[in-house]
Amino acid sequence: MGNLVNGDDGLPAEDVGPWAKQKHDFLCRYIDISRGARGKFIGPGKAGATYIDVFCGPGRALVRKGEFIDGSCVAAWRKSVEGGAPFSKVFIADKDETRLNAAAERLAAAGAPVEAFVGEAVDTTRLIVSRLDGYGLHFAFLDPYNLGVLNFDIFRTLAKRKRMDILVHLSKMDLQRNLGRNLRADASAFDAFAPGWKDAIDAARAQKGIRVELINHWKSLVANVGIDASADMKLLKGEQEQHLYWLLLVASHDLAHKFWKVAAKTDTQGELF
């Protein structure tokens, strides 16, 4: 989670690295590529197509080189409008009320049908899913600031809706930097992210092997709730080519995975582990 700064529109914005622009580009490419499928659920008498972002931030960011950009939820809404298939509802949430209120105000100003919830992502996800039409098409973007807050119950809850596509940010940097500490801790950040992980890994292996086993265990948990994690994991890097995080799609139907394969340009995804 970056520091808050004064935005160029008078509202708080978040200080981010330049890689945020690339992340938003992949998000918006997926939204654009899927516009035809989304359009079938939009209109009078239709079940609707929603956007969900439970780590929404303030909806505006200052890239460290001095450029202001839309945050993920605002960028996603604008791209859906631009493609002629605007989301019928935008659900956002954040545990920080200042960030949440700024995002909600920016979305409302952009014409989005926004509904906002303050609280931890596990709790707000339950509230949002309870409001979703079971016959609608739903797209969730999960962009947490570390693995520890990406509680697996979020995926269990989202999977309760049949047509749920999830684009998720998995922090490779967090996994690498804090692996040793999490392996030794009685209460590990991995407990919420990948329940049962201690029985799924060989702690005597080299760290790279442990990371592979942990992510594979997480993917198996995802599959067990009825949704599949894409094999196409897009690796995003920092300015010094350091590995930061993966973006990947989690969905139950093949068409969503086909969309992501195109959006992610997997021929340039780079080394995963």
pLDDT at 186: 66
Using a 10 angstrom Cβ sphere, with 0-12 exposed, 13-18 middle and 19 or more buried, the burial of residue 151 is: buried
Half-sphere exposure of 228 (CA within 13 A, CB side): 11
Bridge partners, residue 70, by sequence: 60
Instruction: Extract long-range pairs of 109-113: CB within 8 Å, 24+ residues apart.
Output: 110/74, 110/77, 110/78, 110/81, 111/81, 112/77, 112/87, 113/87, 113/88, 113/89
- CB burial of 36-58 (b: ≥16 within 10 Å; e: otherwise) equals ebbbebbeeeebbbbbbbbbbbb
Pairing of the two strands 89-94 and 49-53? parallel
pLDDT at 145: 85
Tell me how many degrees the CA angle 242-243-246 measures, rounded to the nearest 5: 155
pLDDT at 187: 67
Provide CB contacts within 8 A for 27, sequence distance 6+: 72, 75, 76, 79, 141, 167
pLDDT at 179: 76
Which structural domains are found in the chain, ordered by start?
4-176+228-261 (3.40.50.150)
273 residues of the chain, pLDDT tens digit each: 779 999 999 999 999 999 999 999 999 999 999 999 999 999 999 999 999 999 999 999 999 868 999 999 999 999 999 999 999 999 999 999 999 999 999 999 999 999 999 999 999 999 999 999 999 999 999 999 888 899 999 999 999 999 999 999 998 887 877 777 777 776 688 899 999 998 988 888 888 888 889 999 999 999 999 999 998 889 888 877 888 889 999 999 999 999 999 999 745 444 444
Threshold 0.75, pTM exceeds: yes
pLDDT at 237: 85
pLDDT at 178: 73
Query: What's the rounded Cα separation, in Å, for the pair 201 and 217?
Result: 8
Half-sphere exposure of 255 (CA within 13 A, CB side): 9
